[in-house]
Structure 1
Amino acid sequence: MSYFSQILLNNVIPLCIMICIGAILQKIFRLDIKTLSKLNFYLFSPVIVFKMLYESTISGSILLQVLLFVFISLLLLAGIAEIIMLFRRYKAGMRTAMRNSVIFYNSANYAIPLNQLVFVGDAFTMSIQIIVMMVQNLLPSTYGVYSVNSHKNDLKATLRTVFSMPSIYTIPLAFLMKGFSVPIPNTIYIPINYISQAFIAIALVTLGVQLGTMKWQIKFSDVMISNFLRLIMGPAIGFLVVYLLDIHGVMAKALILSSAVPTSLNSVLLAVEFDNEPEFASQAIFSSTIFSIFTVTLVIYLLQFIH
């Protein structure tokens, strides 16, 4: 019960408050959702990932294990999603939106505090979560941008859009500067901190603004399918993959927990920025965040059986 209340009070309710603020501001001022999505994609998101990677302590062996876990898990999850979408005969845009809502998950402003809560600020498990966050930031900026544009634009135009995403460049830059111990002048590091601290607030307000503009006409069954795949199948596959890769102990627990979190804000940012089923994406994020109170608590309970 303590985990349930802590997740509710420390993760879900604060997120919902920020989302509600965005929705209220939208009702009062009619904010420009496109401008907000561009701020998230081109400024806040790449800067926070750069900062966290630059400051992290990640070994090569851990990096490879985590990457292997993430990609195998995502491939299995995407495969299950494809089978379901085939039976439901989704159109191209909806297939992309559903896929993004399942494979892009909230690895930053939900998973990081959750990791600190469950593992009591353990530096090792935090380094694992940072690697997951790096992948979850890079994928929407590459595959995600490609997927939402490929059925609307030709390959050249789609690739041009992909290579305009800053995260493609900030991630290798962070690794290079960290690897060669390149210091960042304080004059530059101060604004990096300012921007990083604003990321969560701006991203959640953006989701609230999008929710405030919706007509809620998406089929309830589509949203529930997304939630089931993300919140139930996601961690179930996580348990399977750590077993297949023979990963044990606290690392296995951290990886499973990282796969149990709700849909990422990136899926709605992609949907809004490129006009690809934004109402479905917003509803999938909002509902998965609410339902995660119960599913994440269950996953935390099951982690005690991992040795």
Structure 2
Amino acid sequence: MIQTVLSTLIEVVVPLSVPIIGGALIERFQRLDTKPLLTLYLYFLSPAIILDTLAHAKISFDDIYLTAAFTLLNVLLLWGTASGISKVMKFSAPDQAGLTLVSVLTNSANYGIPLVLLAFGQAGLDKASVYIIGQMLIINTLGVYFAARSHFSVKNAVKSVLSLPAIYAAILAMLLRGFDLHLPAEVAKGINMAAGAYSPVVLAILGAQMMKVGTMPSPKGERTAFWIGIAVRMLIGPLLALLVLNLLGISGKLHSVLFILASMPVAVNAVILAERFNASPLFVSRCILWTTLASFLVLPLLIALVSG
């Protein structure tokens, strides 16, 4: 077991850490401006990898149905867990919103895509594609609601979803598959090249953002919420994911991929929503930093368990 964990650590985490460390070092010494890179990621690289993956993904209707059911049920359980803990601990409204964001929103795109590709190969990434798109929808709909229920607007949420090029890339890929059509070879090759740039760019962005979070002042009076957030995302989250996977009877590679994606650290997008709606952004930022650092040790162990 130890040998398997070490092997996973070397073969998966070490390659991922190179662009993360690179981004962190650039931020530390050159003050990397991530806004243009985030625009590149959101409007070009993200739709490119989704279109490239979904257009060629070997995934059955049963996989799509089970992934959608898992995503919905898992989110509901995590939401209920965060709400229950918040009521028992008598958290303030901002801390409750922050804990919900930390619990529900996972970094399945920026971090999950390259991790799954390295750990499970292209077949694993095929299985992961539906879950990742589901997380994008959740972040831009339920994520807004979690961050600011009193400010929630269905109209604005729909606008937010419809503004994402990734959604249209997914629709295009589904249409191409449904009608057994293909993009011109030259266009498909260009999209594949763009998709190849996804992982190093987004991991460098993650490294820079982690460095920024690490230099933020520690929030006062949020220590309890912070540790509970860490426990929910890194301990309770994986246990609930296993429960849902067993309830739905999901097995094989789909089980392994969904379990790892559901065990990912907090999504970077969570702090964007937290800052916008004053949902304890410093608490959320610290959880992003420390769950990401913890994942470098936890995820190899989990990958070894599901792979064994």
User: What does residue 44 of structure 1 align with?
Assistant: 45
TM-aligned CA deviation for residue 56 of structure 1: 0.4
TM-aligned CA deviation for residue 268 of structure 1: 4.6
User: What does residue 17 of structure 1 align with?
Assistant: 18
User: What does residue 178 of structure 2 align with?
Assistant: 179
Normalised by the size of structure 1, how large is the TM-score? 0.80
Q: Which amino acid aligns with 1:213?
A: K
User: What does residue 234 of structure 1 align with?
Assistant: 237
User: What does residue 71 of structure 2 align with?
Assistant: 70
**Aligned-CA RMSD value:** 3.3
User: What does residue 250 of structure 2 align with?
Assistant: 247
Normalised by the size of structure 2, how large is the TM-score? 0.80
User: What does residue 164 of structure 2 align with?
Assistant: 165
TM-aligned CA deviation for residue 100 of structure 1: 2.9
* Counterpart contact for 1:145–1:162, Cα < 8 Å: no
> Any idea what SS the aligned residue of 2:128 has?
helix
In 1: Cα distance, 2:117 partner to 2:23 partner: 27
1:129-157 alpha-carbon deviations (Å, 9 max, x no partner): 22222222332244335555765576555
In 1: Cα distance, 2:9 partner to 2:210 partner: 21
Q: 1:274 to 1:4 in 2, by over 3 A?
A: farther
Q: 1:162 to 1:96 in 2, by over 3 A?
A: farther
> Is the aligned partner of 1:86 residue 2:87?
yes
Q: 1:157 to 1:290 in 2, by over 3 A?
A: closer
Q: Which amino acid aligns with 1:106?
A: N
In 1: Cα distance, 2:59 partner to 2:278 partner: 37
> Any idea what SS the aligned residue of 2:197 has?
helix
Aligned length: 303
In 1: Cα distance, 2:253 partner to 2:197 partner: 31
* Counterpart contact for 2:98–2:274, Cα < 8 Å: yes
Greater Cα offset, 236-245 or 284-293: 284-293
1:119-158 map, 5 Å:
121=121, 123=123, 125-145=124-144, 147-148=146-147, 151=150, 156-157=155-156
Q: 1:210 to 1:259 in 2, by over 3 A?
A: closer
1:46-80 alpha-carbon deviations (Å, 9 max, x no partner): 22222211110221122101211121112111210
Greater Cα offset, 128-137 or 209-218: 209-218
Q: 1:38 to 1:169 in 2, by over 3 A?
A: same
In 2: Cα distance, 1:274 partner to 1:163 partner: 21
Gaps of 5+ in 2: none
> Is the aligned partner of 1:57 residue 2:54?
no
Greater Cα offset, 73-82 or 151-160: 151-160
Q: Which amino acid aligns with 1:224?
A: W
Q: 1:107 to 1:149 in 2, by over 3 A?
A: same
In 2: Cα distance, 1:198 partner to 1:90 partner: 42
* Counterpart contact for 1:109–1:200, Cα < 8 Å: yes
User: What does residue 194 of structure 2 align with?
Assistant: 195
TM-aligned CA deviation for residue 177 of structure 1: 1.7
In 2: Cα distance, 1:273 partner to 1:205 partner: 24
Matched-pair identity in %: 30
1:238-261 alpha-carbon deviations (Å, 9 max, x no partner): 221122223345543443333223
Q: Which amino acid aligns with 1:225?
A: I
Gaps of 5+ in 1: none
In 2: Cα distance, 1:14 partner to 1:278 partner: 30
* Counterpart contact for 1:203–1:265, Cα < 8 Å: no
* Counterpart contact for 2:144–2:152, Cα < 8 Å: no
> Any idea what SS the aligned residue of 1:105 has?
coil
